Amino acid sequence: MPVMSYIQAVTTALKEEMQRDEKVFVLGEDVGKKGGVFRATDGLYDEFGEYRVLDTPLAESAIAGVGIGAAMYGMRPVAEMQFADFIMPAVNQIISEASRIRYRSNNDWNCPITIRAPYGGGVHGALYHSQSVEAVFANQPGLKIVMPSTPYDVKGLLKASIRDNDPVLFFEHKRAYRLLKGDVPEDDYVLPIGKADVKREGSDITIITYGLCVHFALQAAEKLAEEGIDAHILDLRTIYPLDEESIIEAAKKTGKVLLITEDNKEGSIIGEVAAIIAENCLFDLDAPIQRLAGPNIPSMPYAPTMEKYFMVNPDKVEKAMRELAEF
Amino acid sequence: MSKNRHEGLGLTDEQVLDMFKTMLLARKIDERMWLLNRAGKIPFVISCQGQEAAQVGASFALDREQDYVAPYYRDMGVVLAFGMTAKDLMLSGFAKNEDPNSGGRQMPGHFGQKKNRILTGSSPVTTQVPHAVGVALAAKMEKKDIVSFVTLGEGSSNQGDFHEGLNFAGVHKLPVITMVENNKYAISVPIERQLACEKVSDRAQGYGMPGVTVDGNDPLAVYEAVKEARDRAVKGDGPTLIEAVSYRLTAHSSDDDDRQYRESEEVEEAKKKDSIITFASYLKEVGILTDEVEKEINGEIGNLVNEATDYAENAPYADPEDALKFVYEA
């Protein structure tokens, strides 16, 4: 089985979907000749030509809106936002339009667009190249938000997103692009959107998280295992709509729950996860629900001292896990 | 007899009469909706009155079997020309389950009907411009000889999506026709407080496309401009911006009182140029319409509107829990 990086899994999924279905096309800033600023669309321009790997003007609302129009026509656009931080001009198109097209037309029209965007910090990206923006979109029924943590999940979930008949936001952790490598089967598999995945079975504490933090939790879990603390790790994978059943099951399994996000703590998606657990698992809990997240400041600063202070990292995760285990 | 202008445009007598009937139908449905609103039977109306000539003239220049339209909330004339019926529109006015636009989910004027290639629309203005550009991009990719046609008001031409959408269309020479229906007011704010340039069509230069301003009260002038734009688009010569100048004869909506911001003399003056009257005069002058035929048409349309109103009023609403349906594909 080939080993590939997180970003190679993105490129592979795009390429295979474009080979499979000629309605699939990519549009965004610098995605064509250059192959994307992160090289996520590397080689696609040469293979599929200018119009299926379209360099658009620098205008995010048009990238989303033109994609939405093409999707209503029957194409399968994959729009790229160069950084998740720059999705803001397209919010009206994504929330007022894409998310509501099926609903407002009483199921007459639909909008099968995938919008990919690199998010996340720890890359010296400062305020506007580091953010987690999922919470902006995570209370908009009609949208789906996928945030995979491994190359294997990237390929299977990006293919599923492109084939989905509703709009999907697909957030890729930019630090994971080259940091993470893993086995990715060559075959044409898809993974279910809306299903969380147990990344580690354990019996003492439950960690529920997504994206790069899954790896921080896995690393910390290995260390803690040496101390006899056995962590159960649930990767949300789809953060909207949430997989309530898996969340409840994971919380009940150990009765001690730590929720982790790289986003600001306040109003982040893990607040909703906490509410689901509070509603459903009160009598199964042996400790208050714990949250580990970024501080409530606008975004992470550039200077390495302050960036490190903001970011979740394996040490912070390990500390939080140990404290919960000892509760 | 005045000069026959429509033959030179390739329009038959039957076609121009059909244009007139469509304009009149839009006007009569709209007038009925105001009555229903004032009688407390429907909560909201937003009007096409004063813009029917531009809407219908443009639509007749398109391929109504294949082209896509992304109308804005006043475009009753466009959607009627593209196959929506009086009954469909009344069902929307009454917010009934059978409303093909939205099943009673959206306010009237939020058009959409896939079988007639009418893209579903929302309330935030101008979001439909990039959608029409996306349809045109898809048409170009699939090498189809079709165009997309998108409309908006002059106030909306200040939105970012207008700029982003038209620039995108210009860069990629896409077959999209944008028609700004300049009715002189964006709710209460007149055009001189909306545009820094003289005409909306002046903006076309920045997008690398032709910009033309036409008399929006003259369906034949609008037909001619849109026909030319369509011919260019299908030849691969790219997009066109058309500004059709008319006047909004009603308040912005049933919730607006236009006496707060404009003089009634101005409205009365505009009514003299009302296309329903001036186009009827033209058709009479060229011998297509007689008083007798006009009376007959009025009678037919009156019956149609009555039937549509009765049907829609008596049609069932969606069940309350239908509100939960169609968030995602089932």
pLDDT in tens, B117-165: 999 999 999 999 999 999 999 999 999 999 999 999 999 999 999 999 9
Which residues of chain B lie closer than 8 angstroms to A95, CB-CB?
none
Complex prediction ipTM: 0.97
Provide the 10 A C-beta neighbour count for residue A287: 16
Residue B291 forms part of a structural domain: yes
Note whether residue B227 is domain-resident. yes
Segment B25-73, tens digit of pLDDT: 999 999 999 999 999 999 999 999 999 999 999 999 999 999 999 999 9
Residue A122 CB partners (closer than 8 Å, separation 6+): A130, A175, A212, A307, A311, A313
Is B323 part of any domain?
no
Domain region containing B33: 7-318
The mean pLDDT value of chain B amounts to 97
The amino acid that residue B312 corresponds to is A
Are A142 and B113 an interchain contact pair (Cβ–Cβ within 8 Å)? Answer: no
Q: What is the pLDDT of residues B267-303, one digit of tens each?
A: 999 999 999 999 999 999 999 999 999 999 999 999 9
Sequence-ordered list of residues with C-beta below 8 angstroms from that of A75, at least 6 positions apart, any chain: A23, A24, A25, B138, B141
B328 within domain boundaries: no
Place of tokens 């100048």: B245
DSSP state of B178: E
pLDDT band at residue B1 under the 50/70/90 scheme = low
Chain A nearest-CA distance from B45, in A, is: 18
| pLDDT tens, residue by residue, B199-222 | 999 999 999 999 999 999 999 999
Contact status, residue B187 vs residue B252, Cβ threshold 8 Å? yes
**Is residue B329 included in any domain, yes or no?**
no
CATH code of the domain in which B156 resides: 3.40.50.970
Q: Which residues of A touch B161 (CB under 8 A)?
A: 61-62, 65, 92-93
Contact between B161 and A144 using a beta-carbon 8 Å cutoff: no
What are the φ and ψ backbone dihedral angles of B89, each rounded to 5 degrees?
A: -70, -40
Residue listed under structure tokens 């299903």? A195
Question: Which pLDDT tens digits describe chain A residue by residue (327 residues)?
Answer: 899 999 999 999 999 999 999 999 999 999 999 999 999 999 999 999 999 999 999 999 999 999 999 999 999 999 999 999 999 999 999 999 999 999 999 999 999 999 999 999 999 999 999 999 999 999 999 999 999 999 999 999 999 999 999 999 999 999 999 999 999 999 999 999 999 999 999 999 999 999 999 999 999 999 999 999 999 999 999 999 999 999 999 999 999 999 999 999 999 999 999 999 999 999 999 999 999 999 999 999 999 999 999 999 999 999 999 999 999
pLDDT of residue A1: 86
Question: pLDDT value at position B244?
Answer: 98
A124 noted as active-site residue:
no
% chain B with pLDDT above 70: 100
Measure CB to CB from residue A70 to each of B135, B160, B325 and give the nearest one.
B135
d(CA B259, CA B261): 5
Evaluate whether residue B79 is within a structural domain.
yes
Task: Give the total number of structural domains in chain B.
Answer: 1
Task: Tell me if A127 sits within 8 A of A299, measured CB to CB.
Answer: yes
Domain contains B259 = yes
Only one residue has tokens 């910009």, namely B211
Structural domains of chain A in order of their starting residue, each with its CATH number: 3-183 (3.40.50.970), 197-326 (3.40.50.920)
Whether A238 has its CB under 8 Å from any CB of chain B: the answer is no
Residues 60-79 of chain A whose Cβ lies under 8 A from any Cβ of chain B: 61-62, 64-75, 77
Q: With cut-offs at 50, 70 and 90, classify the pLDDT of residue B2.
A: confident
Residue recorded with tokens 């390739």:
B10
Tokens for A30, please give them.
Answer: 């610098």
Does residue B229 fall inside a structural domain? yes
Give the containing element (helix H, strand E) for B181: strand B176-182
Contact residues for A54 (Cβ-Cβ < 8 A; gap 6+): A25, A26, A27, A28, A31, A32, B137, B172
